[in-house]
Amino acid sequence: MLELRPYESGDEVELAPRLKEIDVYECYCAAGLEPLAALQECIRDSLELVTLVLDGQVLGISGVTPVDGEWYGIWLLTDERLPQCRKSFLKFSHIMTRQWVKKYTHLCNWVATANMTSRLWLQAIGFSEGETDNNFMGSGEPFVFIHRSYA
């Protein structure tokens, strides 16, 4: 069963070795970081943090970081077990996103164009896709800008 709880120090150490391959790829393209360093940076910069737990083990960590002015980055890094709790996760996502977008008004992130699972999930919870950067952060890899604003 999927549970949500506040982030606890050390959650990233548990999650990092099991991070999904596509999440490892995105961390490397976006910041040149290995999983643990990427998680630590995201956690350090976040205004909001939540940990997803499945069967007593950290499944993922999500948060909101300041980006620029009224824009805030929403992020989620998980392991491969996410499909096991798809319905619960979608419900959680709607609740979390509604709360965060009311508080932070404009949520966004860049997602690897190859990460169709994340792109479809984000569309399902109200995000729209914008421009594509075919050389994201100088990585040579295409990423698409996703965003959602409170109206």
Q: What is the pLDDT of residues 119-140, one digit of tens each?
A: 998 999 999 999 999 999 999 9
Element (H, E) at 14: helix 11-15
* 142: number of Cβ within 10 Å: 15
How many percent of the chain have pLDDT more than 70? 99
CATH for 140: 3.40.630.30
Average pLDDT of the residues of the chain: 94
Angle at CA of residue 66, ends 61 and 70, nearest 5°: 130
Boundaries of domain holding 99: 2-149
Check if the beta carbon of residue 100 is closer than 8 Å to that of residue 48: yes
Largest CA distance in the chain: 40
Tell me how many domains the chain contains. 1
**Residue type for 51, please?**
T
Mean pLDDT of 35-43: 97
Element (H, E) at 13: helix 11-15
Average pLDDT, integer, range 88-100: 90
Determine the pLDDT at residue 146: 97
Kindly tell me if the per-residue pLDDT of 98 is higher than 90.
no
Amino acid 151: pLDDT: 64
Give the ranges where 16-150 is alpha helix by DSSP (H).
21-31, 35-45, 86-104, 116-124
- pLDDT band of residue 101 (cuts 50, 70, 90) is confident
Residue 143: alpha-carbon gap to chain centroid:
14
